[in-house]
Amino acid sequence: MRSTTARGTAGTAIGGRAATAAATATAGAAGGGLLLFLSFPPRGWWWLAPVAFVVIGAAWRGRGARAGAGLGMVTGVAFFVPLLSWTGEFVGPVPWLALATLQALFVALAGAAVGALPDRWWWPVGAAAVWVAAEAPRGRVPFDGFPWGRTGFSQPEGVFTPVAALGGVALLGFVVALTGFALPGLARAVLRADTRLPAAAVLLVPIVITVVAPVVAVTTPPGTASVVVAAVQGNVPRAGLDFNAQRRTVLDNHARRTEKLAADVAAGRVPRPDLVLWPENSADVDPLRSPDARAAVDRAVRAIGVPVLVGAVLNPPDGPPTNTMVAWSPESGPGEIHDKRRLQPFGEYMPYKDFFRLFSPLVDRSSDFVPGSGDGVVPMAGVAVGIATCYEVIFDDLVRDSVRSGAQMLAVPSNNATFGRTGMTYQQLAIDRVRSVEFGRSTVVPTTSGVSAVILPDGTVRSGTAMFEPAALVERVPLRSDLTPALRYGAVAEWVLVATAVLAVAGAVLRRQRR
């Protein structure tokens, strides 16, 4: 009887320890996701990102594939639900939570793969590669992907930022994750006073990359060609889905603010720009079909006397609408155009409309735009401007294509009015800043309602606006034609990391099968 009682007591103790360990791992997985969220704007505590991976690594490491998948899902939900809360501001909780859950599934896959890795000295490298490998398909599927929230986008400033110029967003995210995953190994080595531990040496990898990056990255030398650019923020009558409910108001606001800029130039209060950028959707009436709208744009462009990039929704009589940026000349009117190439699903077009109508009646308010083609480069005033219209800037291939095609600067005309004063506009501005560093280009961000900004090639914000206030930014920015290592090899770096992750996981699986 005593023996049976002892076994029962021991079993209860073991079960209690297991339950405690599971609860601790779950709490760590959730805490790591929340810390990663806090590293993103509008807080922008970039240094929390590696701390997040310390916590995530402690929660996932050695748990096995099944437990790792569950813990990964916890991390993904804790990260994406608050990060993407701006999507639910005006469309309701169901689409927001559905999107967050879908994105969390990719983190669950990462958790399963990381949990399956053997607990060896190289574990941090394999885990960081797996993390980046899980971000890769998230930027491609479904519906062309949604790479918002990639780890590298949390680093528009800080010690890791120059890594973007070395190997793109993928390498930047890898270095951040590897730093966090490797720190506990260093701590164990220090506590044991054992410098032979190879786990401590793993931390040298992100340290070396971070130190080398600013040296290898292309800098802007003195005497570089430059251009004076103006970004006009005309403001909208209201925030939300009905930002342009008052017909012609948005266009009139931008025309009026441009005419005021012309008056400031004439009075000598600001320098004369070489070109002016308006935001996406700044012409809320098709200026190619409406004589009144065209006259309003013409007056503003002639007043400032230089080419203006005008954002318009074009509605041709014999085809579907396009989200278009038009280079408007003061002499000849509309000229070169850029039709948005990668459209936002559920906003600019609606896939499987009958099915998604079951979840939200707002699907019927989506547009039916068609995507454009080309390389995104529009010549203005002798400058090759690479255009990534709002949502397009989150996709590596689109921005890379424009710079490879000769873009000397980048423009990200945006309309963030739908999302009001949420963190969305600040998260996008961080992406714009990382792109500037990645490709070594000045980036000008005109938005309808803010935050508009002028960003230098090192990611520094030269000037910016407040939200929902008319404004015009006028700055001289360098023009660059040289190519960063990230432009040459960034795509290769991502695929090398993906291959590393695949080999690490495949090796772990084969090893388990042999055993």
Q: Contact at 8 Å (CB) between 75 and 463?
A: no
Show Cβ contacts of residue 69 under 8 Å, excluding neighbours closer than 6 positions.
108, 109, 111, 112, 115
Percent of the chain predicted with pLDDT > 70? 90
Q: Contact at 8 Å (CB) between 286 and 312?
A: yes
Q: Is a pLDDT exceeding 80 seen at residue 174?
A: yes
pLDDT at 199: 67
Q: Is a pLDDT exceeding 70 seen at residue 167?
A: yes
Bigger pLDDT: 443 vs 187: 443
**pTM given for the model:** 0.93
Q: Is a pLDDT exceeding 50 seen at residue 429?
A: yes
Q: Contact at 8 Å (CB) between 405 and 376?
A: yes
For residue 53, which amino acid is it? F
* Cα atoms in the Cβ-side hemisphere of radius 13 Å centred on 261: 35
* Residue 423 to residue 429: CA distance in whole angstroms: 10
Q: Contact at 8 Å (CB) between 488 and 217?
A: no
In this structure, of 49-58, 60-69, 114-123, 179-188, the range with the lowest mean pLDDT score is 179-188
In this structure, of 105-109, 214-218, 316-320, 444-448, the range with the lowest mean pLDDT score is 214-218
The Cα-based distances of 176 to 28, 74, 109, 138, 418 in angstroms read 18, 20, 19, 18, 32
The mean pLDDT value for 188-206 works out to 73
The mean pLDDT value for 424-442 works out to 97
Q: Contact at 8 Å (CB) between 439 and 481?
A: no
CA dihedral (230, 235, 236, 240) positive or negative: positive
Percent of the chain predicted with pLDDT > 90? 75
* Identified catalytic residue from 89, 348, 390, 392: 390
* Residue 111 to residue 3: CA distance in whole angstroms: 41
pLDDT at 212: 85
Picking from 453, 457, 459, 458, the residue whose alpha carbon sits closest to that of residue 474 is 453
Q: Is a pLDDT exceeding 90 seen at residue 189?
A: no
* Identified catalytic residue from 89, 135, 280, 392: 280
pLDDT at 5: 58
For residue 182, which amino acid is it? A
pLDDT at 346: 79
The mean pLDDT value for 121-135 works out to 96
Q: Is a pLDDT exceeding 60 seen at residue 10?
A: no
Domains of the chain and any CATH numbers: 2-217+490-514 (no CATH), 226-339+376-482 (3.60.110.10)
Would you call 331 a catalytic residue per the annotation?
A: no
Would you call 340 a catalytic residue per the annotation?
A: yes
Beta bridge partners of 464: 453
pLDDT at 1: 47
The mean pLDDT value for 90-107 works out to 91
* Identified catalytic residue from 135, 340, 392, 475: 340
* Residue 438 to residue 395: CA distance in whole angstroms: 13
Q: Reading across the β-sheet that carries 308-314, which strands appear in turn? A: 333-339, 322-329, 308-314, 275-277, 226-233, 471-478
Mean confidence (pLDDT) of the chain: 91
Would you call 280 a catalytic residue per the annotation?
A: yes
